[in-house]
Structure 1
Amino acid sequence: VDMTDVDRFAPDGVELPDAPLYLVTGVDRGGRMANRSPQEALPALAREGRSPLVLTEGIHWILQRPEVLERDRCFMTIGSRLRKPNGTPDARTPAIWISNGTGRDGRERREAPKVGWCWWGNRHTWLGFGSTTGRSLTG
């Protein structure tokens, strides 16, 4: 409910295999980078030889391994961005976390996984940066 334009967020600055299905390896939720902004984390990931996850990769990872998403140990997927009509990036970046069941989420969604957004320049102590060491068509 907080991100009605989620389908408009697309890979940005990330090279994906040219196939509908591919393998993402060395996936990490990036907790060591908590309390950095996406703007700060992106070059740090590159220095480590890592590529930021796109939103669909983060969702698929959680669907396959639900235990990856823990309260206060969630992650952003900064490989996805929304571009405005003039080509500049939107100030939001997608993130996946566990709902507190407040606000528009409603009490019935407390403890449920949530796709939301954070500001590109903001830091969060409880959000890491999902990343991968590689993407390929085969393992």
Structure 2
Amino acid sequence: MTDRTHVPAPSARATSAASAPSLDPGAEFDRQVRTLTALGYPALSGRTPEQFAELVAPLRAEAVAHAGNGAGDGDGEHDPAGTGRVPFVLVVTRELAPIERTMPLTTLHGGRLPGFVDRTFEPGSLERFVATEEAEPPGGNGVHLLFDVERGEEFCGVVPHDAMAALAERGRSLLTIEEGIALMTHTPQILVKNKCFSLGGSRSGDRRVPAIWISKRAPKLGWCWAGNPHTWLGMASAGARAAARP
């Protein structure tokens, strides 16, 4: 029988809220909207920049309110302490922007080479990697917020199946493919050597677990088996998701 990899206990926060740089959630939300606009997300979604801004605008109040309750405390957009934590991320799902079009818009921090989808995704397979029931995007209009995001390097070397179970016990939710791409888009410095992450919130009914790691000096969307651990691959998760209030 193969020994099961030890699942770590919840790690202490590397930076306390008191010592972490303050984050202006409104300004950070606006920055993320500008990033998406500059990358061409309005056109990908069939909208003008003004229409796209109108679509996501109601989420700004959610970002500010959630951060005001403490969920926004942390290391801000640049993660200067290298904790792998991001207070919130503005997500555009495949209903508005196809994964095949958004992944190439990602880059490594300071890099120029575009991200890519690994060829091991056979034609048509990405469509089968859909959100699990627990990770279902809220709202239904193709945009939402993801709060208290961690890339999950504590699970490097842990069997993905065990990592997913441990996070479920903590009440955390696994990231979908689109949420992983959003995390890379807004915070490219989150992906570093030996601290890459799986995206267990998207599954296709088999043993494959999507993941983003570094390959050929660029971000790559690939997959690994749920029973195979990798020393350089953790499990990304979030504390909550939110849509705009009616």
Q: What range is the shorter-chain TM-score in?
A: 0.7 to 0.9
Of stretches 122-131 and 3-12 in structure 1, the one that deviates more from structure 2 is 3-12
Distance of 1:91 and 1:24 partners within structure 2: 25
* Residue type at the aligned position of 1:124: H
Q: Give the 5 Å matches for 1:1-139.
A: 1-4=119-122, 5-14=125-134, 15-19=136-140, 20-82=142-204, 89-99=205-215, 110-138=216-244
Distance of 1:111 and 1:49 partners within structure 2: 34
Which protein is richer in helix relative to its size? 2
Distance of 1:76 and 1:138 partners within structure 2: 27
Aligned-residue identity in percent: 41
* Residue type at the aligned position of 2:143: L
* Residue type at the aligned position of 1:26: D
Q: CA deviation at 1:53?
A: 0.3
CA contact under 8 A between 2:139 and 2:244: conserved in structure 1? no
Secondary structure of 1:27 counterpart: strand
Runs (4+) of structure 1 moved beyond 3 Å? none
Report which of the two structures shows the higher radius of gyration computed on alpha carbons. Answer: 2
Q: CA deviation at 1:138?
A: 4.4
RMSD: 1.5
1:9-49 per-residue CA deviation (whole Å, 9 max, x = no partner) reads 00113232032111000010000111112210112101222
> So what's the TM-score if we normalise by structure 2?
0.48
Report the CA distance shift for 1:7/1:71 in structure 2 as closer, same or farther (over 3 A).
farther
Structure 2 stretches of 5 or more lacking a match?
A: 1-118
1:42-101 per-residue CA deviation (whole Å, 9 max, x = no partner) reads 12101222100011100111011100011111000011100xxxxxx21211000000xx
Q: CA deviation at 1:8?
A: 1.9
Distance of 2:207 and 2:192 partners within structure 1: 26
Distance of 1:71 and 1:11 partners within structure 2: 27
Q: CA deviation at 1:117?
A: 0.6
Distance of 1:121 and 1:12 partners within structure 2: 18
Distance of 2:137 and 2:186 partners within structure 1: 20
* Residue type at the aligned position of 1:129: M
Report the CA distance shift for 1:22/1:45 in structure 2 as closer, same or farther (over 3 A).
same
* Residue type at the aligned position of 1:24: L
Structure 1 stretches of 5 or more lacking a match?
A: 83-88, 100-109
* Residue type at the aligned position of 1:122: N
Per the alignment, residue 4 of structure 2 pairs with none
* Residue type at the aligned position of 1:35: G
Of stretches 120-129 and 41-50 in structure 1, the one that deviates more from structure 2 is 41-50
